Chains A and B, each alone.
Chain A
Amino acid sequence: MRADEWASLAVIGTLLVPCVLTGMVMLPLTRRVGMALAPWAALPALGLGLGTGATVHWKSVLLGMQLYAPDEVTRTYLLFTGVLWLFSGLFARGYLREDAHLASFWGFFLATLTGNVGAVLARDVASFYLFFAMMTFCAYGLVVHERTEAAARAGRVYIVMALLGEVLLLAAFFLLVGTRVNLSFDDVPRVVAESSHRDVICVLILVGFGVKVGAILLHMWLPLAHPVAPAPGSAVLSGTIIKVGVLGWLRFLPLGHASLPTLGTVCVAAGLTAAFYGVAVGLTQREAKTVLAYSSISQMGFLTLAVGLALGAPEAAPVLIGAVLVYAVHHALAKGLLFLGTGLLPATGRRGWRGVLVLVGLTWCALEIAGAPLTSGALAKLSLKSAEAAAHASEALPTLLSLAAVGSTLIMARFLECTVPKAPEQGKAGAGGMLLSWGLLLAVDTVLLFWPPVGRDELPHLLAPKYMVSAAWPVLVGGLVAAVVWRSRRWRTWRVPVLPAGDVLWPLMRVLWPGWRLLTTGADREEEEQAETAARLQGGFARFRKASLDEVENAEARLSRLSHVGLALLLFLGVFILLLVR
């Protein structure tokens, strides 16, 4: 075989391997083999991220499928996606050893992986949508894996929001592709920039992918879904899957091709709001994984901000995209490690060498998220700041970012406070595999600091005293505040007010839920507990519902009788003619 054939085979393999393994896990006959191989399914993706492949073009598949181009975005995404899925898979092998729904987990894990890798590889609109939807819907299986009522509720919120996002994206894609039916990513930014519906497309893309990213006011599913999923599931959800939303922005927005200052400013504002709002709500949470989810919302705010700047300043777009990539790699690995760590600590316990190792590792990752000097977080923030300078962003931005870093430090302190005391003193036997895979991921994370896939130019600045100071002070301030609060709580018991995870979702549900009940009246369903307010509001709807429903039923019953068939026909003709003469 020639070299380019091998290269295309490598591309196909990254999709085919997890896909075939999904099938193997689904069939009882091959299930054992499939599940044994499943943790390694992301290896081809990682390999492709390190090496290079060749573009594959299948005209017969879907609407002409194109996969892979060796650009920086694809390669970086492949790299961190591959790494995180690989180690999450290896971790899951130990974590879920005694799980009751093991095959279900691996099936959804592999299918979601296929979707995730496919979304990174896709080079045309329809294929991207295919893999994006596949990832979204299969990740549902990870969210509801525990089969508890909380998981079911989180799953409902997740799927409803995901569907809303998908629908908005479809509308954007319809506007985008037009009569061309399908479009290669090579042409997308140009077509969007030149489209007469440019602004509508951009808004739809921003909101549609914003659901996945967890942008402000679209973030409700994140703090519900992350805590209920098993630790490896949360790791990939927060590490890579929400990043695909950002990937969508990078692929579909006309970054560098058009200047949209208004929309850009909105994005910057939304990003900054998310950065602070995530921290504020996150600090009130008690569940470690919920705190992490809110931290993700806050961190994704920085990426929203960068994308917003790129929308406003096309000339700085390449630098900003580079910064987004650095940030994405950093956040994916650090957040993945933290989520896996919440699953690991109960197994290792917090005493003994294993416990200390995990605690040190978790603290290191927390510092990374906070952006302490000499961590990947510092590199990410550095790239972001210099890119902002290139975009001539407002003078206040660096200060605001430093303040947000104080918030990140606080929320990480809150995370440690929620995690460590709850962990048992002594661990369980058999945590070795989990610890090993976690440790290896930590090692990879550290190696990537010295040898980053993107943003290598900024690396020397990391040691410059000026940047050391600017990275250090927010962490110090945050740490100090956290310490004071923690000390003060020892001698005076005061409590943080608790906000329900999902915050703005609940007031929203009070309006939406009765509406949904109204719409689905007649279908028998389980009697579920209802919030009192919802019940009261529903009482108001009840009469209207009954009246309207009876009317429809009666009308249909009347229609079924002989004399009314003719009436229906007349009605049909009447309406038709009315519409005609209109």
Chain B
Amino acid sequence: MTNTWLPLSVLLSSLLPGLIIFLLAEEQRRTRTLLNLLAAVTKLVLTGVMAWGVFQGRQYETRLPFLPKADLVLRADSFSLLFITLSAVLWFVTTIYAVGYLEGTDHRSRFFGFFSLCVASTMGIALAGNLLTFFLFYEMLTLSTYPLVIHRGTPEALRAGNVYLRYTLSGATLLLAGVVLLYSLAGAVEFTERGALGAVAAHRTELIAAFVLLMGGLGVKTALVPLHGWLPVAMVAPAPVSALLHAVAVVKAGAFGITRVIYDVYGVYLVHDLGVMQPLAIVAAVTILFGSVRALQQGDLKKRLAYSTVSQVAYIVLGVSIFGTASTIGGLVHLVHQGVMKITLFFCAGNYAEELHVHRVSELRGVGRRMPLTTAAFTVGALGMIGIPPVAGFISKWYLGIGALEAHQPWLVVVLLTSSLLNAGYFLPIVYSAWFQAPREAWKPSPGRWEIGLLLLLPTVATAVLSLAAGLFAGAELSPLGWTRLLTEREFRP
């Protein structure tokens, strides 16, 4: 039995509130916040229902006529649910955070309106049932995140916005070219487990060309080297935006797209057969190392985190571009793990900036005494990024390492472990100086009972706890790992 309204309502649950919020006056703070939270909770519930249904084997599909021979398809399969659940949960916490973060600033209606649109696009990307739908929402994401990046309106922000648009729109051109090429070859390609291009597998050249175009287009948002230039620049955005950009929306949309193309458009066996996996793995490996080295050289906390994202998202690409179950599990589960850990780190960076006006790594000395919970959350995130158990990042790294060896590519293990060392090199000094060094001058005491407003503190702590739980209880059936294992088994079933 197929349910046709649920995927659409998941999409609308953030699209409609977004449109309504645009109409609200700036002063209607309560209404706006209520609407935001209501939408976020609704989406969580709908996602939960859908996840349970998919777990039980039910079908969810909305199909709207769009172009001749190409419908607009929204379908929930286990892979989309992985991404949707991540987005829904993180959207919920980020909304709370953003309400606290932007308290008393201008243009909040505009901000939250585009914020909701951005999440709606992410939902669309996750639910897209074919390449065309995917492309549509992918571009909608670009356009809805641009106003968020330039939200502050400073010259620097506007410049960053320009860079962002140039990169993403150029990427879109390539993506469109790839989609059209595939369309001409095989019609509207529906995402199918184990690939949908089996019938045209003989057209090797065209398939490879389309693959390269698609990867080029998606690689921009994924921030693969050398297409990563926009990401560190886009750091001027407000903290909740950076958090969402880095954890769920933009870079993840790219990584999600790459995964979709490899597994559900081409099919992992075909991609392997075409010989395009190894080059992608090499690009990912270069990105991992380059991002880590560049992160080492940043003195600005958010910039360091940005380069860390460049490196960490490439882990996902690396995982899906090594042929084998273990690496696939590692890559996909890192999609979730990296999201939760990175959002924690960005929340922390936002907290430091908001409460103490600290932006640079060298200014963090002794911050642990003033903001212990935030710093504890930061520590969890940082340890997770390095891959120290029991934080979630460890699980990803474990599977990626095993997968690299399974595919007889020991050099990738060397890349992974070198990157871990580099990660330690740029995260541990921060953790050290925050906890163990004395502050240069006494911090100004907190005006409230807590180290920072609860609206900022609770999301930070919650995501840190999630990062810990996802790693510590990875063996559970409903953990990100459990879900990914289920999903990967289906992809690799011959």
Q: Are the chains A and B members of one assembly? A: yes
Alpha-carbon gap, A178 to B404, bound state (A): 10
* Bound: A262/B187 CA distance, A: 63
Known interface pairs A174-B401, A523-B361; A577-B428 also in contact (CB < 8 Å): no
Neighbouring A residues of B472 by C-beta, 8 Å: 61-62
B170 in the interface, Cβ–Cβ < 8 Å?
A: yes
Q: Are A174 and B279 in contact (CB under 8 A)?
A: no
Q: Determine whether the beta carbon of A178 is less than 8 Å from that of B279.
A: no
Residues of A within 8 A of B53 (CB): none
Choose from B227, B424, B476 the contact partner of A568 (Cβ within 8 Å): B227
Residues of B within 8 Å of A170, CB to CB, are 387, 397, 401, 417, 420
A133 and B362 CA atoms in complex are apart in Å by 27
A-B contact pairs, 23 of them (CB 8 A): A60-B477, A61-B475, A130-B390, A144-B432, A159-B424, A163-B424, A167-B421, A170-B417, A170-B420, A174-B398, A179-B402, A181-B402, A519-B425, A523-B426, A524-B361, A560-B163, A568-B227, A572-B283, A573-B216, A575-B279, A576-B216, A579-B279, A580-B275
Q: B23 near A: Cβ within 8 Å? A: no
Q: Are A178 and B475 in contact (CB under 8 A)?
A: no
CB distance from B317 to the nearest CB of A (A): 13
Residues on the A chain within 8 Å of B390, using CB: 62, 130
- A551: interface (CB < 8 Å): no
**Chain A residue at minimal CB-CB distance from B360:** A524
Set B215, B224, B297: member contacting A523, Cβ < 8 A:
B297
**Also in contact, A133 and B389, with CB within 8 A (given A147-B436, A163-B424, A569-B170):** yes
B473 to A61, Cβ gap below 8 A? yes
Task: Say yes or no for B101: interface residue by CB 8 A criterion.
Answer: no
> For B232, what are the chain A residues with a Cβ–Cβ distance below 8 Å?
556
A455, CB-defined interface residue at 8 Å: no
Cross-interface CB contact of B212 among A152, A167, A577, cutoff 8 Å: A577
The minimal Cβ–Cβ distance linking B168 to chain A, given in whole angstroms, is 10
Residue of B nearest to A556 (CB): B229
Provide the residues of chain B in CB contact with A65, threshold 8 Å: 475
A60 to B282, CA, bound (A): 34
In contact, B299 and A524 (Cβ under 8 angstroms): yes
Q: B293 contacts which chain A residues (CB < 8 A)?
A: 519
CB of B174 closer than 8 Å to a CB of A: yes
Q: Does A147 lie within 8 Å of B438, measured CB to CB?
A: yes
Shortest Cβ distance from B2 into chain A, in angstroms? Answer: 33
What is the bound-complex CA distance between A178 and B401, given in angstroms? 9
Number of interface residues of B (CB under 8 A): 74
Q: Which residue of A lies closest to B209 (CB)?
A: A577
A62 contacts B471, C-beta separation under 8 Å: yes
**CB-based contact A58/B475 at 8 Å:** yes
Contact of B388 among A58, A133, A565 (CB under 8 A): A133
B424→A523 contact, CB < 8 A? no
Produce 1/0 per residue, A81-118, CB < 8 A to B: 00000000000000000000000000000000000000
Are the CB atoms of B230 and A560 closer together than 8 Å?
yes
Within 8 A of B (CB), among A134-161: 134, 137, 144, 147, 152, 155, 159
Complex: A388 Cα to B482 Cα, angstroms: 49
Q: How far is the CA of A529 from the CA of B387 in the complex (A)?
A: 32
- Known A-B contacts A572-B226, A580-B208; the reply to A130 vs B299 at CB < 8 A is no
Q: Are A60 and B476 in contact (CB under 8 A)?
A: yes
- The distance from the CB of B422 to the nearest CB of chain A, in whole angstroms, is 8
Please, which residues of chain A bring their CB within 8 A of the CB of B166?
Answer: 562, 565
Within 8 A of B (CB), among A518-534: 519-526
Instruction: Tell me if B171 is interfacial: C-beta within 8 Å of chain A.
Output: yes
Roughly how many angstroms separate A575 CA and B216 CA in the complex, as a whole number?
11
Binary A-proximity of B368-408 (CB < 8 A = 1, otherwise 0): 00000000000000010001111000110111011011100
Which residues of A are found within 8 Å of B361, using beta-carbon distances? Answer: 523-524
Known A159-B428, A179-B402, A556-B229: A572·B216 in contact at CB below 8 Å: yes
CB under 8 Å from chain A, chain B span 309-358: 325-326
Q: Please report the C-alpha to C-alpha distance between residue A541 and residue B250 in the assembled complex, in whole angstroms.
A: 38
Chain B residues whose C-beta falls within 8 Å of the C-beta of A130 in the assembled complex: 389-390, 394
Complex CA gap A571/B361 in Å reads 33
Contacts of A167 on B, CB cut-off 8 Å? Answer: 417, 420-421
Bound Cα distance A66, B63 (Å) = 48
What CA separation (Å) do A234 and B368 show in the bound complex? 25
Taking CB atoms, residues of chain A closer than 8 Å to B215 are 576
By a CB distance below 8 angstroms, the chain A residues around B233 are 560
- Are B475 and A60 in contact (CB-based, < 8 A)? yes
Q: How far is the CA of A144 from the CA of B438 in the complex (A)?
A: 13
**Closest beta carbon of chain B to A168's beta carbon, Å:** 8
Q: How far is the CA of A571 from the CA of B174 in the complex (A)?
A: 13
Nearest to A163 among chain B residues (CB) is B424
Q: Which residues of B contact A134 (CB under 8 A)?
A: 389
Measured CB to CB, the closest approach of chain B to A542, in angstroms, equals 15
Contact yes or no, B389 A522, CB < 8 A: no
A-side contacts of B174, CB under 8 Å:
569
Chain A's nearest CB lies how many Å from the CB of B347?
Answer: 20
Partner of B227, one of A62, A137, A569: A569
Within 8 A of A (CB), among B249-263: none
Closest to B397 in A: A170
Most chain A CB within a 10 A radius of its CB, from B215, B299, B388, B426: B388
Chain A: which residue is nearest B329 at the CB level? A181
Q: Which residue of B lies closest to A563 (CB)?
A: B166
Known contacts: A62-B472, A147-B436, A571-B226. The answer to whether A519 contacts B296 by CB under 8 A is yes
CB-nearest residue of chain A relative to B293? A519
Bitwise interface map of B from 207 to 239 toward A, beta carbon under 8 Å scored 1, else 0 = 010001101100110001011011011000000
B102 within 8 A of A: no
Closest to B279 in A: A579
A520 touches B296 (CB 8 A): yes
B276 sits at the interface (CB 8 A): yes
